[in-house]
Chains A and B, each alone.
Chain A
């Protein structure tokens, strides 16, 4: 019997037996969709989380810090570090300008520039709105080298200009409102309305580009809080928000990038009379407490890292984050596949039932074919082909279902305001369809064998 004839006859049957076809296709398509969706959700989640991780931890960057722990504050020497001021010049782990130059000259290094955390201060706008910002001292012109993009303006290099991240433009509130809000929240911490109001204010955007702002420092060492305002600074650029991070999340991390010159100036301006400590946490001239190195390819991270460590410096990459994630998601994917296969097994029961029913209804036809010279193998092949065809059709329907489900998921997640996006990697389609065909064939074996064993005569006799 030619394959062409077998498939054509199987197709005829599938076309005619709408109920059996419908039943089997539904069962298989649900299982197939389950596999495709489960795999896809796993992969989408992996992509999403990896993206998130890559946002906060750049895989192609190395954080370099002085060897032997974080050194003491350069200017004021507030203690802390093991090495006293006396030994500072002899400290072999110091991250000096010279070492920075060496790092910049290393193979595979695209950029190496200091990004120094200088502590938290208050930003005050002209119309008296305030926000706490994290101060990072960096070469502002290097920002774009580290994947930052400007939403507005840029780094023009003029002294007295600063750059804000997107989060720093959100949720600026004037002092009075802020105090009132904090007060009422303190009085009634579980009031939904107040919390809602707070949330709204937290993400309220302010137009800060080219505006003048000031930095305010507070002296907490005295009983009557004294404040000091810096001279006006201009917002020269605003960075774009990170992809996939909503405003609420963005508003938690408000950053102000300032150049080393501006840092030095602020440091001078914001000194309280009775204190020797600067409000800004800065290392001494010609040395740094943090340098970020950008490497041309993730594959070269480790070798560059080793070179840096030879300079008696600490080097830390983020690759371990990805490895951890990979392990977790491999497990999730396996679990998802397991769920899909389980559903397919359940579906296969419905196929076995439907196919057995169908072979029983067709006993007469099988009998006639046997009388006309069909042997057992031919009858069996006809039924298995039919089952495989049902599997294929169910698989195709399953693909359709899985797209609908993923669309639905995206709508659901989309309305929840999260940036997560579900998608179906194309590789999952053949996987799902193969599982569907396999299920069809496996569930078809028993009915096919029982059909082939049908006794020609009894099949014809009974009606």
Chain B
């Protein structure tokens, strides 16, 4: 569904290039919900923005629904984004001059969907995120948590293949955070929408099916959470079954095999990674217990 291949990204500041992401590789299956975990400045947002097509990587490829978005031009990308990608921001980013319902409808406005169809969909989604009574209010009249619910409904209205969320609970207190995360988990379960959620809190990440941990631009761990292992297995078989009907079966299988063989090597480099050596090679590891992931998470610079 989503595949990141050898993504490297550098920013130019003045005359110097600062490398932010190094040879990132991973794949996410249809219907999966994964967390992108890492401390501040580790490159999470950069990676997310690259995947959402909001900027171009220095090197590498990003495939969504089998299309390389890196090669797309601005307008092609806009159209692609419209069809396949949803986005949830940390600061909600609702348009203040539009009502809640109009905000939810907005992505469909750019697709020239008729007002009556738009309205029906928007109201249904507002119901689903639990604020059906706020449809005609303006964003400024809502609490942060409610605004984020609007933003979630907005990201869903185009029925995208994947939704990217950049610290969706970053501006919220822990109680509201729980509510929002449970809404996302619920949507993932019921609608089978793929979610990539950026967070720097392990307690948020551990509720997802898989965690990718970033550190200084390296993907250091890829971990399947224990709590969701059972569910993950179910999802995986389901995804696999879906994949088999598609043409990508071979590719998927191949990649899975590759990841598994790499597993041991990755565990070996684990110690190096935690030490923060600059010369390290990017590692992909699949760890079975969350406890073992702690050092990586705890090793903040």
Residues of chain A at the chain B interface (Cβ within 8 Å): 1-2, 4-5, 9, 12-13, 16, 364-365, 368-378, 456-457, 460
Q: Given the interface contacts A372-B110, A372-B154, A460-B89, does A13 sit within 8 Å of B54 by beta carbon?
A: no
User: Which of B15-23, B71-79, B127-135 makes up part of the contact surface?
Assistant: B71-79
Q: Given the interface contacts A1-B112, A457-B49, does A373 sit within 8 Å of B107 by beta carbon?
A: yes
6 contacts between A and B (CB under 8 A): A5-B115, A368-B93, A371-B93, A375-B79, A376-B78, A460-B93
Residues of chain B at the chain A interface (Cβ within 8 Å): 49, 52, 54-55, 74-75, 78-79, 81-83, 87, 89, 93, 95, 97-98, 106-107, 109-112, 114-115, 154, 158
Q: Among B54, B82, B98, B112, find the residue whose CB has the most chain A CB atoms closer than 10 A.
A: B54
Q: Which residues of A contact B112 (CB under 8 A)?
A: 1-2
CA distance A401 to B230 in the complex (A): 75
Q: Flag if A372 contacts B54 (CB, 8 Å).
A: no
Q: Which residues of B contact A372 (CB under 8 A)?
A: 81-82, 87, 106-107, 110, 154
The 5 closest A-B pairs by CB, nearest first: A373-B82, A375-B78, A372-B107, A457-B54, A368-B93
Closest chain A residue to B55 by CB distance?
A457
How many A-B residue pairs lie within 8 Å, measured between CB atoms? 62
CA distance A364 to B158 in the complex (A): 22
CA distance A374 to B55 in the complex (A): 15
Which of B54, B107, B110, B114 makes the CB contact (< 8 A) with A375? B110
Q: Which residues of B contact A4 (CB under 8 A)?
A: 115
Q: Which residues of B contact A12 (CB under 8 A)?
A: 97-98
Q: Which residues of B contact A373 (CB under 8 A)?
A: 78-79, 81-83, 107, 110-111, 158
Q: Flag if B106 contacts A13 (CB, 8 Å).
A: no
Q: Flag if B95 contacts A370 (CB, 8 Å).
A: no
Q: Flag if B54 contacts A456 (CB, 8 Å).
A: yes
Which of A365, A376, A457 makes the CB contact (< 8 A) with B74? A376
Q: Which residues of A contact B95 (CB under 8 A)?
A: 365, 368-369
Q: Flag if B110 contacts A1 (CB, 8 Å).
A: yes
Q: Which residues of A contact B55 (CB under 8 A)?
A: 457
Q: Flag if B106 contacts A369 (CB, 8 Å).
A: yes
Q: Which residues of B contact A2 (CB under 8 A)?
A: 109, 112, 114
CA distance A4 to B98 in the complex (A): 15
Q: Among A5, A373, A456, find the residue whose CB has the most chain B CB atoms closer than 10 A.
A: A373
Query: Nearest Cβ in chain A — how far from B292, in angstroms?
Result: 35
Query: Nearest Cβ in chain A — how far from B59, in angstroms?
Result: 18
Q: Among B83, B97, B115, find the residue whose CB has the most chain A CB atoms closer than 10 A.
A: B97
Closest chain A residue to B87 by CB distance?
A371
Query: Nearest Cβ in chain B — how far from A389, in angstroms?
Result: 15
Q: Which residues of B contact A457 (CB under 8 A)?
A: 49, 54-55
CA distance A256 to B79 in the complex (A): 89
Query: Nearest Cβ in chain B — how far from A369, in angstroms?
Result: 7
Q: Which residues of A contact B107 (CB under 8 A)?
A: 372-373
Query: Nearest Cβ in chain A — how far from B297, in angstroms?
Result: 26
Closest chain A residue to B74 by CB distance?
A376
Closest chain B residue to A12 by CB distance?
B97
Q: Which residues of A contact B115 (CB under 8 A)?
A: 4-5
CA distance A456 to B106 in the complex (A): 16
CA distance A1 to B74 in the complex (A): 17
Closest chain B residue to A4 by CB distance?
B115
Closest chain B residue to A372 by CB distance?
B107
Q: Which residues of B contact A5 (CB under 8 A)?
A: 109, 115
Q: Flag if B75 contacts A377 (CB, 8 Å).
A: yes
Q: Among B52, B82, B95, find the residue whose CB has the most chain A CB atoms closer than 10 A.
A: B95
Closest chain B residue to A6 by CB distance?
B109
Closest chain A residue to B157 by CB distance?
A372
CA distance A4 to B115 in the complex (A): 10
Q: Flag if A374 contacts B87 (CB, 8 Å).
A: no
Q: Flag if A374 contacts B97 (CB, 8 Å).
A: no
Q: Which residues of B contact A378 (CB under 8 A)?
A: 110
CA distance A123 to B115 in the complex (A): 87
CA distance A256 to B129 in the complex (A): 97
Q: Which residues of B contact A376 (CB under 8 A)?
A: 74-75, 78
Query: Nearest Cβ in chain B — how far from A47, in angstroms?
Result: 48
Q: Which residues of A contact B75 (CB under 8 A)?
A: 375-377
Closest chain B residue to A452 by CB distance?
B74
Given contacts A375-B110, A377-B75, 20 further A-B contacts (CB under 8 A): A1-B112, A2-B112, A2-B114, A5-B115, A9-B109, A12-B97, A16-B97, A368-B95, A369-B95, A371-B52, A371-B87, A373-B83, A373-B110, A373-B158, A374-B78, A375-B74, A375-B79, A378-B110, A456-B54, A457-B54
CA distance A214 to B54 in the complex (A): 103
Q: Which residues of A contact B158 (CB under 8 A)?
A: 373
CA distance A378 to B49 in the complex (A): 22
